[in-house]
Amino acid sequence: MSTVSATPSPQSGRTSWLRVILFGGAALLAGMALSGRLQQPVADSQKGTLQAKTNVIAAGRPAKIAELFVAEGDVVAPGTPLLRLMDDRLSAKIASQKQEIEAREVELKKVQAQAEVDLQWRHRELQAEVFETQLKSAGYLKEKINRQVEQLAWKEQLTTVSLASSNSVTEGLIRPLSFLEEPPNPARLQVLLKEDAAASSIEALDVQIKLCEDRMAELKQLGATLETKIRTSVGVDLAETRVKQSRTELTALEEQIPGLTITSEGHGRVGLWAKHVGEAVAAGETIVELHDQEQRFLMLHVPSALAGEYRTGVKLSLIFPGQERLAGAVAEVGPQTLRNSDEPMVPVRITSIGRIWPELAIGTRVIVEPPR
């Protein structure tokens, strides 16, 4: 009985390797197809726009852009200077106000000099009148003293005359009853008249002295108020008021200068400049927008017929550039449709959940797969 050995032929070996290669290639193609299918957007996907909370920087007055302190894309913090405006009208007002102050200061110095001259002249006149009044008062006082001395002398003489008359009775005789009707003594009467004249002079001098005292009081009061009256009469007070008012107006104008430098009110990334150095801006016109990268969202517009699927809180799959899949959720659905196309569209606001969205430029288009 003979034994036959089984040796594989070269043809069968080649067939096995071909089958392995074919099966491997088919599996690779199937995997690639499956992967491509997974990476392709699902039918009926929408495209949303990456946006962020925006702070609009606008001009508060008509002006020109004088200087830009930051560039597009820079990240700024609150208080960061963004730009400086140039207001030609404000500059012209400040220059005009300074000229007005100079003119009014010249006028003030002029009236101050005039007031000083008038004051010196009036002081000399006042001092002269005071001196004259004092001389008159001293003269009246001296005359009064003389009259008082004279009055005392006449009173003493009157006493002497009266005693002499009483001793003129005849010795040893009783005077007749007609003594009571004796005519007055001429010497005594003359003394009485002179004493009375001296008393009247003293009274008149007292009046003159009182008038001098009153006039001295008036002159003293006039001297105390003389400077104020002269300043008012020549216009010093008015000129000072005008200078003060002009300086106040200049201060108010200069206080507007810091307002020409616009600063950031919050954190954000500088967007595109709508205006550049040298360009004019109107009051309220937007110059640049600051985008808060920490408060980014997708704005999606879906047909009104599909709006019911995008309820608040619904999770969505988002495909960012580079085929990066991340998650988001409906945060807000607009209360009304937008009619900027043939079909009414409803705005839907989508915020991030899970992994943080990549740093992409505002306005980047992101694919939003429909809810499942």
Question: pLDDT of 38-83, one tens digit each?
Answer: 444 555 688 899 988 889 999 999 999 999 999 998 999 999 999 9
**Which residue carries 């002029």 as its tokens?**
110
pLDDT at 267: 86
What mean pLDDT do residues 258-286 have?
Answer: 93
Strands of the 63-68 sheet, one edge to the other: 261-263, 81-86, 63-68, 280-281
Pairing of strands 46-58, 365-368: antiparallel
Element (H, E) at 224: helix 186-234
CA-only gyration radius of the chain, Å: 59
SS3 state of residue 284: coil
Is a pLDDT exceeding 90 seen at residue 288? Answer: yes
Backbone angles phi, psi at 267, to 5 degrees: -75, 150
Residue 93: closest CA among 242, 280, 257, 253:
253
Give residue-wise pLDDT tens across range 263-275. 998 888 898 999 9
**Whether pLDDT at 247 is above 60:** yes
Residue 5 pLDDT: 39
- CATH pick for 42-87+261-368 out of 2.60.40.420, 3.90.1150.10, 1.10.3720.10, 2.40.50.100: 2.40.50.100
**φ, ψ of residue 218 in degrees (nearest 5):** -65, -45
Largest CA distance in the chain: 235
Q: What is the pLDDT of residue 42?
A: 52
Looking up tokens 């990268």 gives 293
Query: How many angstroms separate the Cα of 302 from the Cα of each of 50, 299, 338?
Result: 15, 10, 10
Own/partner pairs for 327-333, CB < 8 Å, 24+ apart? 327/352, 327/353, 327/354, 327/355, 328/298, 328/352, 328/353, 328/368, 329/353, 331/297, 333/307
pLDDT top residue among 158 and 78 = 78
Containing H/E element for 58? strand 46-58
Q: Alpha-carbon torsion 116, 122, 125, 131, what sign? A: negative
Average pLDDT rounded to a whole number, residues 250-273: 92
Give the amino acid at 269.
R
- Quick one: tokens of 241? 């008021």
Pairwise pLDDT comparison (161 vs 151), residue with the higher score: 151
pLDDT confidence of residue 35? 47
Cβ atoms within 10 A of the Cβ of 128, count? 10
Q: How far is CA 19 from CA 12, 16, 27, 95, 165, in A?
A: 11, 5, 12, 95, 188
- For residue 15 the two structure tokens come to 């067939």
Task: Return all residues near 126 (Cβ < 8 A) that are at least 6 apart.
Answer: 219, 222, 223, 226
**Residue range 302-327: mean pLDDT, rounded:** 90
Whole-number Å distance between alpha carbons of 220 and 322 = 99
The overall average pLDDT reported for the chain is 83
In percent, the amount of the chain with pLDDT more than 70 equals 81
Asked if 354 and 327 count as a contact pair (C-beta separation under 8 A), the reply is yes
Better-scored residue on pLDDT, 4 or 26: 26
CA 75 to CA 255: how far, in whole Å?
29
